[in-house]
């Protein structure tokens, strides 16, 4: 069990405690014979809400490498089910539908949204894994069909997820110059966005802070890892420092709330705070710590982790170590007690990234 006091222990000890606290029970309880359901009413799957590529892609990012850390015999079946769902939701032209209802009807048009970027990220993780060769071949098919659409996307998050996927694939296919070309083009477009929008006291890619913010800085960190261009590292560190400054109050992580977000020149929203922000911040600061070796990122890791374990503005614990479920966030009244897929995966992805990084040192 991780307690608030554990957040101040050594990183290796914290890593060991966190690894022991992770359970897969809840994420598996949200998964039926089709795929991962997106929502829960309290801890019970809300079947009427159906499934999304967004959540199944996130789940595949986690599940593709989870077996080394948590050797659960249920994981191989989950991995195959998640990948199969992505194949089902992708059209031949590479675009993705995002939603499927519980009757297995797909009501939305195939589009080039953030779900496509997340699918590329997931496919890249599978390619750079020890999963069976047939699954890795299927992931390449998904990846190759989807990647061309990223060039025309105006979403910085779609581009950021694609950077993560390209970096993963490059770790497996190191001599593929086409992957490097694509990663450079997409990373450069994020740098251009940053230079276009940054100003005094506003070192960010857009004129608004919304959700999954740390993912943009993380994308340039992986671009630096792959290409060693200092520009990517400089922008990643500047933007991450800014984000940490904005989301740290009295040494406590306080993510941007979704009731209004934070528009440049305006007032930031404090609620509702979402787990995706804390999880993403764990991943980005962990990577920055690993890339730079700077101890300045340690406190950011501890604060973002602490948010899940009661070190937040409401002093409520979001992660339930007995089930592996994470609550959907913090609102002005306190804890949102629903435990959906996105929230639980935000914790699992953050924990996995932190433990993987410490284990590989």
**pLDDT at position 360, please?**
67
* Nearest CA among 332, 304, 333, 299 for reference residue 319: 304
Angle (CA) 259 261 264, round 5°: 145
What is the rounded distance in angstroms from the CA atom of residue 248 to the CA atom of residue 276?
16
Query: Which stretches in the chain have pLDDT values below 50?
Result: none
Question: Exposed/middle/buried for 172, CB within 10 Å: 0-12, 13-18, 19+?
Answer: middle
Residue 242 tokens read as 């800014």
What is the rounded distance in angstroms from the CA atom of residue 355 to the CA atom of residue 73?
20
**pLDDT at position 359, please?**
78
* Count of helices and strands (H, E) across the chain: 13, 12
Residues 294-313: tens digit of each pLDDT: 999 999 999 999 999 999 99
Residues 32-69: tens digit of each pLDDT: 999 999 999 999 999 999 999 999 999 999 999 999 99
With tokens 């948010």, the residue in question is: 307
Alpha carbon 356 to its chain centroid, in Å, reads 15
Question: Which class in CATH covers the domain with range 4-359?
Answer: mainly alpha
* Nearest CA among 110, 212, 113, 128 for reference residue 166: 128
**pLDDT at position 361, please?**
54
DSSP summary character for residue 320: E
Residue spans per domain, the chain: 4-359
What is the rounded distance in angstroms from the CA atom of residue 121 to the CA atom of residue 128?
11
pTM: 0.97
């Amino acid at each position: 069990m991780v307690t608030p006091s554990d957040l101040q222990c050594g990183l290796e000890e914290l890593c060991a405690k966190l690894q022991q606290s992770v359970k897969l029970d809840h994420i598996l309880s949200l998964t039926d014979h089709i795929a991962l359901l997106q929502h829960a009413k309290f801890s019970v799957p809300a079947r009427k809400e159906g499934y999304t590529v967004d959540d199944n892609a996130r789940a595949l990012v986690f599940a593709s490498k989870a077996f080394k850390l948590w050797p659960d015999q249920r994981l191989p079946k989950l991995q195959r089910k998640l990948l199969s769902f992505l194949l089902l939701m992708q059209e031949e032209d590479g675009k993705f539908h995002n939603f499927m209802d519980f009757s297995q009807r797909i009501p939305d048009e195939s589009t080039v949204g953030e779900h496509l970027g997340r699918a590329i990220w997931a496919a890249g993780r599978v390619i750079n894994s020890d999963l069976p060769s047939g699954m890795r071949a299927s992931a390449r098919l998904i990846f190759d069909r989807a990647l061309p659409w990223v060039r025309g996307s105006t979403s910085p998050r779609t581009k950021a997820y694609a950077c993560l996927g390209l970096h993963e694939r490059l770790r497996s296919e190191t001599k593929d110059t086409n992957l490097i070309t694509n990663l450079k083009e997409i990373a450069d477009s994020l740098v251009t966005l940053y230079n276009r929008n940054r100003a005094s006291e506003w070192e960010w890619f857009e004129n608004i802070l919304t959700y999954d913010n740390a993912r943009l800085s993380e994308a340039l960190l992986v671009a630096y890892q792959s290409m060693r261009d200092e520009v990517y590292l400089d922008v990643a560190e500047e933007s991450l420092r800014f984000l940490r400054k904005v989301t740290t109050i009295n040494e406590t992580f306080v993510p941007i709330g979704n009731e209004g977000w934070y528009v440049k020149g305006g007032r930031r929203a404090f609620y509702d705070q979402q787990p995706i922000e804390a999880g993403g911040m764990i991943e980005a600061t962990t990577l920055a710590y690993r890339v730079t070796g700077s101890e300045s990122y340690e406190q950011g890791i501890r604060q973002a982790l602490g948010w899940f374990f009661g070190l937040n503005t409401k002093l409520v614990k979001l992660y339930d170590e007995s089930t592996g479920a994470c609550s959907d966030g913090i609102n002005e009244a306190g804890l949102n007690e629903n435990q959906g897929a996105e929230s639980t995966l935000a914790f699992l992805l953050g924990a996995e990234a932190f433990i993987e990084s410490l284990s590989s040192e």
